[in-house]
Structure 1
Amino acid sequence: MRVLIVDDEPLARARMAALLGECSDVELVGTLTDGEAALAALDELQPDVLLLDINMPGIDGVSVARRLAGKARPQVIFCTAYEAHALQAFELGAADYLLKPVRLERLRDALQRARRRLDDSPREPTAFLHGRLRGEEVRIALHDVLCLLAEEKYVVVQHVGGELLIEESLRQLEEAWPDQLIRLHRNCLVPRTRLVGLRTLTDGRVLARLDGSEHSPEISRRNLAAVRRWLRLG
């Protein structure tokens, strides 16, 4: 089971890593210091479980859990010094709520609870986009897509390995994967998991910050409210 630690306190991260070393069938895939970094790393690290602090700079743990609510992976286990958020945590579907200092047996119980949930909810099948590259048919996994841009008769798929042209329209793609894609502009869709923030220019235009890409597509006024709602609530 792949576990990612997200906590802004170095000592807490080190202690949790040591405890995980005492747990069987667990692989620590990384330690991060804030919620924004965690959300940006999900596609790359593919954790099964987040050991998640609540009070962190930037995007806090509750906001991260809200983004992930309803998804099978990763399961969220809160690790915090405060009892006040326990009810909200379980309402968001957290697998468990651990109070610091976390005891080894309590951590093992929480991981086992998360494991049972994962076993009951298998991974969703990978979605693919199909197109042609230099005369050959190719496919790109949706989770490797950075941005989808409409250009004349085709849609340009910018992905982690380059670019691909496909014949489906943005509307067809949006209707096929409404939970995975979000519209930024009439000529632009991006995977929701790639959207990590916004940047407002001095002239009032708002650009999207995308995980894994230096490209910052503009967000239209018509779509800005929905994009902000997704970033806030997921």
Structure 2
Amino acid sequence: MDDEPLARRGLELRLARHADIEIVGEAGNGRQAFHAISALRPDLMFLDVQMPGIDGFGLLRMLPATQVPLTVFVTAYDHYATAAFAASALDYLLKPVDDARLDESVDRTRARLAARKTEDHYERLLKFIATLPGGRRSEIDALLGDEGPRADCRLTIKDGHRVLRIDVDSIRWIDAAGDYMCIHAGDETHVLRGTMQQLERRLDPQKFARIHRSTIVNLERVKEMRPHVNGEYFLLLDSGQELKLSRSYRDKIKFFT
């Protein structure tokens, strides 16, 4: 994603040397990139920091966690490096892009994708084991299943093969992606299988509210609300993230009435 057509073309030619890379799309600004990522769901994105309108960092803040591809920043300014890695960038390339450094980024991407496939394989094994007859619930499953709604100031979740205790106050928002949910707490995003209804029952309704069929927000993290079209609103969180407040949930949030 780059606002300079020549830069995009140069990167495309360099990437053509790698037979396992397929270029599925390109964009000249942040808004185009947002729609392209939502539609194409790429594994890897080369992203310019400075673009007209929405810059590279703004684009990452707009994207739901489940849609953010592995990201390599490409820019002419090295002073963005710290911010780039703070945004969990896979790598950072300076223009003009050096072939050896680009190859290094591609190798790093392959390794990261291979690790991700290993995690997916482990998750499939867990699902298969769960279907086997005759076994008792594991201690982990018992712990999760027996926790009552709003038990204390910490939320116990199973993130992959880990059991975590999350400080409820650190949760900014939760969004759903199919059969999975992403809990955005502090600087981390935790992914777990379940439904919004199940998680909603475990959260304090005085602090957490459903603002969309796939989104729950910590009301104490909301700093601003601004109107949008058709009776909808955007909520600005203390992290800078914007979330849409659906019209059908607007009247149910006492915090804003």
TM-score normalised per structure 2: 0.51
Shift of 1:62: 2.0
SS state at 2:24 partner: strand
Q: Which deviations, in whole Å up to 9, do the C-alpha atoms of 1:177-226 show, x marking residues without a partner? A: x9xxx954xxx43579xxxxxxxxxxx97126xxxxxxx5512xxx7334
- Determine the C-alpha separation between the residues in 1 that align with 2:38 and 2:66: 14
Shift of 1:97: 0.6
Greater strand share, structure number? 1
1:175 aligns with 2:195: no
Higher relative contact order (CA 8 A, sep 6+): 1
Shift of 1:57: 1.0
* Equivalent residue in structure 2 for 1:189, among 186, 209, 213: 213
* Equivalent residue in structure 2 for 1:35, among 11, 30, 43: 30
- Determine the C-alpha separation between the residues in 2 that align with 1:40 and 1:191: 20
- Determine the structure 2 residue equivalent to 1:19: 14
What one-letter code is carried by the residue in structure 1 that aligns with 2:96?
Answer: P
1:218 aligns with 2:232: yes
Which structure 2 residue ranges, 5 or more long, are not aligned?
A: 124-175, 179-194, 204-208, 217-224, 244-257
- Determine the structure 1 residue equivalent to 2:93: 98
Distance of aligned partners of 1:31 and 1:91 in 2 relative to their CA distance in 1, 3 Å threshold: same
What one-letter code is carried by the residue in structure 2 that aligns with 1:189?
Answer: R
Contact 1:79 1:99 in 2 (8 A): yes
Structure whose CA Rg is larger: 2
Contact 1:65 1:76 in 2 (8 A): no
Distance of aligned partners of 1:115 and 1:217 in 2 relative to their CA distance in 1, 3 Å threshold: farther
What one-letter code is carried by the residue in structure 1 that aligns with 2:15?
Answer: L
Which structure 1 residue ranges, 5 or more long, are not aligned?
A: 1-5, 126-140, 144-169, 193-203, 209-215
Identity of aligned pairs, percent?
36
The 5 A counterparts of 1:1-234 are: 6-66=1-61, 74-122=69-117, 142=177, 172=197, 175=200, 183-184=210-211, 188-189=212-213, 206-207=227-228, 216=230, 218-219=232-233, 224-226=235-237, 229-231=240-242
- Determine the C-alpha separation between the residues in 2 that align with 1:93 and 1:29: 23
RMSD of aligned residue pairs (Cα, Å): 3.9
Runs (4 or more) in structure 1 with deviation over 3 Å come to 65-73, 122-125, 173-176, 188-192, 225-229
Distance of aligned partners of 1:10 and 1:76 in 2 relative to their CA distance in 1, 3 Å threshold: same
SS state at 2:45 partner: strand
What one-letter code is carried by the residue in structure 2 that aligns with 1:57?
Answer: P
Number of equivalences: 160
Distance of aligned partners of 1:183 and 1:37 in 2 relative to their CA distance in 1, 3 Å threshold: farther
Contact 2:226 2:235 in 1 (8 A): no
